[in-house]
Structure 1
Amino acid sequence: MNKIAVGAVAGAMSFAFVSDAMATEWNVSVWGKRRAFTEHIEKLAELVSEKTNGEFTMNVSYGGLSKNRENLDGISIGAFEMAQFCAGYHRDKNRVITVLELPFLGVENLAQEVAVSQAVYSHPAATEEMAQWNAKLLMTSPMPQYNIVGTGEARTDLADFDGMRVRATGGIGKAFEAVGGVPTSVTATEAYQAMEGGLVDTVAFAQHAHLSFGTINQADWWTANLNPGTVNCPVVVNIDAYEDLSDEHRAALDSSIPEAIDHYLANYGELLKRWDSVLEEKGVEKVMISDEVISEFRAKAADPIRDAWIADMEAQGLPGQELYDLVVKTLADAKSGS
């Protein structure tokens, strides 16, 4: 081979190496199927690819990389670069963010849920706890207040909850337990089978999940206004992978988060607008719980569970009172528009 040919081959090899070095491909572990709950992740992947001319891509896997309860473990060992999980799946691993799952916090809409989540995610205690799992909190997956679907006669009084087997995690599960319910924390993907097989009488979900996981198809009724709380499901990234990004790629990722969240909120808003027609189409009764029953529920669940959570966190050396106060203040600011 002559010198010119050798030089050409070497140049081509060098160019290929540079191109490979510039390319970044992340694997993202979620579960179920594409739905309102994952739209911000899909949008984030789209935006990042656009901003980097396809040099930074994300492969979103719906259950192909890990089980949903094991996503944080997968992040910790670098099995994939990004994942979504819910705090209630392993409360001992993400104690700080469980403040956002306390019942009857008074969050009224998804924008307020984003505000309180971002405030807690930015707290040093949350950052430090997630760093133990080599995880960085990237953005929340805001969900509306949970409500329950059930079969048979609608449960409209507090006495009806006594002995009720309900699929509910986190603070919502504790709230039902406080009024005699029997919570079980089967995963979202197992909820339909649990309802169909009689393991549970009712299932607590946000609207999108009742649709996505089919529980609405088993239901005779749905509580429109019980609103005992919601779950908190962050999107996290592996710290090493995040720090290994080039400045350009990291900027593309960080700058895309607000737009991804805005897209999620707009998309979820459309789902909420058509929810009544979904109920009508599927023949599900919309049940309104009386203000008296809700007040009684709140009195038995909210204060005792909040006080117990704060005491438990403080006993573990975490700033429980400070975190709860942060949520209260952030929520008040969001409601006042300040």
Structure 2
Amino acid sequence: MGGRMMSRITKLAAVTLAAATLVASASLAQAQTRVLRYADFGPDRGSRAEVIKWMDSEMRARSDGALGLDITWGGTLLGAKNAIDGVGNGVADLASVVPVYEPGKLTAWRVSDVRQIADEYVGMMATYELMTQNEAAIKNFADQGVRYVSNFTTGPTQLLSREQITNLDELKGKKVRATGSFGKAFEANGAAAVSMSQPDVYQALSTGTIDGTASYAYVINSYKQYEVATHLTTIDMGQNLGWGIVMNGRVWDSFSPEQQTMMTELGHDATLYMAQKMYEDRTQIMDTLRAGVDGITIVEHDGDPAMKSALIEAAESAGMEWMGGARDQGLPADDLLAAFDAAVAKYHKEMEVQGYPWAKK
């Protein structure tokens, strides 16, 4: 009996030791994971947030647990107006940044907002290629102490309005919420551009303070703007492409060559994944709005070709103001724009011939 008791004790000890070893191994693996601080100014929802969390999961998997993200949402670590400086100074290791909110910073990136490109895949991949392969663009990031990682987008811009607006005559005199190049384009074509934040648009449409808004599918849906403006006119103006993810330059330099290769591939794949998500989400949202939400159905209109052309031409003309600011900073503005146009043409042709990459899977 004593022998059996000792055998049981020995087995129990072995099991306990094995369990302790597993716990210790897991703890060691966790301790060996280098967790990078990621700052995002927005909430933990939507396509952008999903892509960031996907990056964290993929980073851990592709690095065999050596790298991961600690994501801070809602601007509690860095806001939209100080994210570039914050990453450059090491407050965060990576962050979502919008150069237009920090004038004079990462000006090369904003070349992607000069043209009016409605297709998410074409615009995002052309921007990614330019920011990762053009020497002037790479240096522009390095001068701020950061490195470009990946790209975001808003998706194409359409016109949501209280009443039908399908041509220049109907647009004339209307008050339209629009900012930047979009606002200047509407003003150049007889409308009054009104600047306001998205949370204020619903009330402004409801009360008639504005007649319409230059908006995106995900904004129309998430802010329920379809409840107070039921006419949606396709004008296919461009996206906001000059924003995305940057990394602290010293953090990048501290990576092994293998980790740098992994991060480069991950940045490319995250950009492609974002393009896919935005395209699919936009398609799904539009199908939902057509079917009706809470008894409300969107009335769709195709904008008159003359109005579309006039708005796009005016927006691109306003966007060209970027050239002067870029030259003032010593950037080769003409070369950057030519390289971006070439990349857009390349991906547009690729998309027309081969279709979207995710559709092949």
TM-score computed with the length of structure 2 as normaliser = 0.75
Q: How far apart are the structure 2 equivalents of 1:174 and 1:298? A: 11
Equivalence for 2:81: 69
Q: Is the 8 A contact 1:33 1:212 kept in 2?
A: no
Q: How far apart are the structure 1 equivalents of 2:284 and 2:161? A: 20
Equivalence for 1:86: 98
Q: How far apart are the structure 1 equivalents of 2:85 and 2:228? A: 33
- C-alpha change, 1:294 and 1:132, in structure 2 (3 Å) is same
Deviation string, structure 1 residues 221-240 (Cα, Å, up to 9, x no partner): 2222x122111222111212
Deviation string, structure 1 residues 54-105 (Cα, Å, up to 9, x no partner): 332212333132333332232233221211133433343232222211253x
Aligned Cα RMSD in Å? 3.3
Q: How far apart are the structure 2 equivalents of 1:229 and 1:100? A: 10
Aligned match for 1:286, one of 288, 300, 310: 300
1:320 counterpart = 2:333: yes
For residues 63-212 of structure 1, the aligned pairs below 5 Å read 63=74, 64-104=76-116, 107-122=117-132, 123-151=134-162, 153-162=163-172, 164-183=174-193, 186-188=196-198, 192=202, 200-212=210-222
Q: How far apart are the structure 2 equivalents of 1:136 and 1:194? A: 40
Q: CA deviation at 1:336?
A: 2.7
Q: How far apart are the structure 2 equivalents of 1:192 and 1:240? A: 43
3-state DSSP of counterpart to 2:236: coil
Deviation string, structure 1 residues 231-264 (Cα, Å, up to 9, x no partner): 1222111212222334454443333223323333
Q: Is the 8 A contact 2:118 2:238 kept in 1?
A: no
Equivalence for 1:33: 44
Q: Is the 8 A contact 2:33 2:65 kept in 1?
A: no
Q: How far apart are the structure 2 equivalents of 1:71 and 1:21? A: 28
Q: CA deviation at 1:139?
A: 1.0
Aligned match for 2:55, one of 38, 44, 56: 44
Q: Which amino acid aligns with 1:97?
A: W
Q: How many residues align?
A: 320
Q: How far apart are the structure 1 equivalents of 2:50 and 2:208? A: 32
Q: CA deviation at 1:195?
A: 5.2
Equivalence for 2:267: 257
3-state DSSP of counterpart to 1:24: strand
Q: How far apart are the structure 2 equivalents of 1:229 and 1:334? A: 16
Aligned match for 1:296, one of 310, 318, 332: 310
3-state DSSP of counterpart to 2:71: strand
3-state DSSP of counterpart to 1:65: coil
Q: Is the 8 A contact 1:39 1:263 kept in 2?
A: no
- C-alpha change, 1:313 and 1:218, in structure 2 (3 Å) is same
The percent identity for this pair of structures is 19
- C-alpha change, 1:25 and 1:120, in structure 2 (3 Å) is closer
Q: Which amino acid aligns with 1:102?
A: V
3-state DSSP of counterpart to 2:61: helix
Q: Which amino acid aligns with 2:309?
A: S
Q: Which amino acid aligns with 2:107?
A: R
Consecutive unaligned residues of structure 2, counting only runs of 5 or more, are: 1-26, 354-361
Consecutive unaligned residues of structure 1, counting only runs of 5 or more, are: 1-15
Q: Which amino acid aligns with 1:285?
A: V
TM-score computed with the length of structure 1 as normaliser = 0.79
Larger radius of gyration: 2
Q: Is the 8 A contact 1:27 1:80 kept in 2?
A: yes
Q: Is the 8 A contact 1:163 1:180 kept in 2?
A: yes
